[in-house]
């Protein structure tokens, strides 16, 4: 007897991501799909959202904007946690913008 099966692969986010928040976000997204009885998209073994015409955020700032705009996740995880997380990561992004990397030193200050 032939059985139809589904395989779901959930790749971990960046190693710096909070694994508990990643798992929670995925569970809430799945639960939302079940509750709203959403159809699964066709199988895609290429580039996920990018192949569907929706570009993923390309920076931490864009990612934080997308998180703040996601009413489902804000309600599910809780606005206080999202607000605190975004505040922390906004400060982290600002510190990154002010940092001088080894590449910049080698590229522009080699003569010093």
Q: What is the DSSP letter of 109?
A: S
The model carries a pTM of 0.70
**pLDDT, tens digit only, all 112 positions of the chain:** 666 776 667 776 777 788 888 888 889 988 999 999 998 777 666 655 555 556 788 899 999 999 999 999 999 999 999 999 999 999 999 999 999 988 888 888 876 6
**Looking at beta carbons, which pairs linking 25-34 to residues 24 or more positions away fall under 8 Å?**
25/73, 25/76, 25/77, 28/72, 28/73, 28/76, 28/77, 29/72, 29/73, 32/72
Q: How many CB atoms within 10 Å of residue 21?
A: 16
Instruction: Identify how many contiguous H helices and E strands the chain contains and give both numbers.
Output: 5, 0
């Amino acid at each position: 007897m032939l059985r139809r099966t589904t395989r779901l692969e959930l790749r971990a986010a960046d190693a710096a991501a909070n694994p508990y928040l990643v798992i929670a976000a995925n569970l809430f997204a799945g639960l939302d799909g079940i509750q709203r009885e959403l159809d699964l998209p066709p199988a895609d073994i290429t580039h996920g959202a990018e192949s569907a015409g929706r570009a993923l955020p390309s920076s931490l700032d864009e990612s934080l904007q997308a998180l703040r705009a996601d009413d489902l996740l804000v309600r599910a995880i809780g606005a206080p946690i999202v607000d605190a997380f975004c505040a922390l990561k906004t400060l982290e992004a600002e510190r990154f913008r002010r940092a001088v990397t080894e590449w910049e030193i080698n590229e522009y200050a080699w003569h010093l």
